[in-house]
Amino acid sequence: MSTWTGYSKRSGDVTDADYMARALFHAARGRGRTTPNPVVGAVIVSADGVVVGEGFHARAGAPHAEVNALDMAGPKARGATLYCSLEPCCHTGRTGPCVARIADAGITRVVAAVQDPNPLVRGRGFAFLESRGITVDVGTGRAAAALLNQPFFTLMNEGRPFVTLKAAISADGYITEAPGQRTALTSDAANRHAQRIRAEIDSIGVGVGTILADDPLLTARGAYRELPLIRVIFDRHLRTPPEARVLSTVEAGPVMILTLAEAAERADRRQPLEARGATIVVTDGTIRSGLRALGDRSVTSLLLEGGARVHEAAWMERVVDYVRLYATPKSLGPQGLKFLNGRRFLAAELIEPRVESLGPDVMTEGYVHGPS
Ligand SMILES: [Zn+2]
């Protein structure tokens, strides 16, 4: 009897890692849709090696992956093993604790990739299962599972969103032709790639300089997106014009302007922005303080698109987790602004780097300090 097709191993060789890979596949189906929850996948395998249930978490408020898999398995869950990409929950949220459902269904072994970093869970789910006589094995597929939920892990462990720094850089190392000037650098292929990235993130951030120079919409265009995209403007002195185009699209997602207390106290600046739907948030002016404010609102990821000052500040404050650079063959000449004061990123300087050709441009991305 074989439970796999198109698989070179004999069925007797199917291992925990194989079933976990299937649970991770299901988890990934929720990408970009579950925030602020993690993506989770679950597979239930009977004692004789048949997959009797599988499921994933589709969106916050919907049933958890384990519950979907248990519903599919029904009575076949008795005596079976549950493979789960994340520790099953033990807190009563909107959907009730999964661990009680798992034990009541008669599951005898749980294989989980990684412990849930949520302080409400953090090992308590495993402890509950063991207290009900269930064998618990943790760690199969751990690296892949943590990678899949990197934004959720960063929010839980550090109280701030996972930060990706994105920039387009000319052949001679510039990001604009001249300070304060809008410069279209990248090809259609690179622009489409950037839009697809916007479809999966919680929030996108720019400095007020970019608002003044480019007047961008900061929406995800041409990419499927289920949840509103939060737009964040780092604007210490509230210089964002009330007529900025980003404020014409508040129905596509909230616009948060992070500013200093003295600017927020100026009603002549604050009120016209609030009248256009902006949310004014007071910070101490650092990127880190802005990130904490976003973390307090359960924002799990931030794509920092520029400009030069915001990139530089985030880099100097050491809050950049991931870098994605689009290198173009165009040259811009010496009046422009250099990316991070002329710093060059080579793929070899990044951790787990990836390089991809996008038309005439080359995208290089990778972790700055390694996935946690
Ligand atoms: Zn659960």
Rounded distance between C-alpha atoms, residue 131 and residue 366, angstroms? 41
* pLDDT tens digit sequence for 27-51: 999 998 899 999 999 999 999 999 9
Which of 66, 305, 312, 365 is the catalytic position? 66
Q: Is the dihedral of CA 207, 208, 210, 211 positive or negative?
A: positive
Cα(64) to centroid(ligand 1), Å: 5
Q: How confident is the model at residue 182 (pLDDT cuts 50, 70, 90)?
A: low
Res. 372: pLDDT tops 60: no
Cα(71) to centroid(ligand 1), Å: 13
Alpha helices by DSSP H, listed for 215-355, are 261-264, 267-275, 287-296, 308-316
* pLDDT tens digit sequence for 63-86: 999 999 999 999 999 999 999 999
DSSP 3-state of 246: helix
HSE of 336, CA atoms in CB hemisphere, 13 A: 24
Cα(89) to centroid(ligand 1), Å: 4
* Predicted pLDDT at 371: 60
Cα(318) to centroid(ligand 1), Å: 34
Of residues 176 and 117, which shows the higher confidence score? Answer: 117
Cα(97) to centroid(ligand 1), Å: 5
Terminal CA-to-CA distance of the chain, rounded, Å?
A: 39
Q: Establish whether 66 is a catalytic residue.
A: yes
* Predicted pLDDT at 11: 54
Average pLDDT value over all residues in the chain: 90
Q: In what order do the strands lie in the sheet with 203-207?
A: 279-282, 255-259, 230-234, 203-207, 301-306, 162-169, 322-327, 361-367, 351-358
The number of angstroms, rounded, from the C-alpha of 176 to the middle of its chain's C-alpha atoms is 28
Cα(323) to centroid(ligand 1), Å: 32
In contact, 197 and 221? CB cutoff 8 Å? no
Res. 364: pLDDT tops 50: yes
Cα(75) to centroid(ligand 1), Å: 19
Six token digits for residue 116:
């849930």
Task: Quote the strand ranges of the chain, DSSP E.
Answer: 41-45, 51-56, 81-84, 109-112, 135-138, 162-169, 174-176, 203-207, 230-234, 255-259, 279-282, 301-306, 322-327, 337-338, 351-358, 361-367
* Region of poorest pLDDT, from 104-118, 244-258, 324-338: 324-338
* pLDDT tens digit sequence for 104-151: 999 999 999 999 999 989 999 999 999 999 999 999 999 999 989 999
* Predicted pLDDT at 219: 85
**Total residues found in the chain within this entry:** 372
Cα(90) to centroid(ligand 1), Å: 7
* Predicted pLDDT at 170: 85
Res. 242: pLDDT tops 50: yes
Six token digits for residue 344:
């060059």
* Predicted pLDDT at 256: 97
Res. 96: pLDDT tops 90: no
When pLDDT is averaged across residues 165-186 and rounded to a whole number, the result is 78
Cα(194) to centroid(ligand 1), Å: 33
Res. 1: pLDDT tops 50: no
Res. 99: pLDDT tops 90: yes
Q: Count of CB atoms within 10 A of residue 285's CB?
A: 17
* Predicted pLDDT at 335: 74
Rounded distance between C-alpha atoms, residue 189 and residue 322, angstroms? 21
Cα(93) to centroid(ligand 1), Å: 8
Of residues 211 and 183, which shows the higher confidence score? Answer: 211
* Predicted pLDDT at 345: 66
Residue list, CB under 5 A from ion ligand 1: 64, 89, 98
* pLDDT tens digit sequence for 277-292: 999 999 999 999 999 9
Rounded distance between C-alpha atoms, residue 183 and residue 167, angstroms? 12
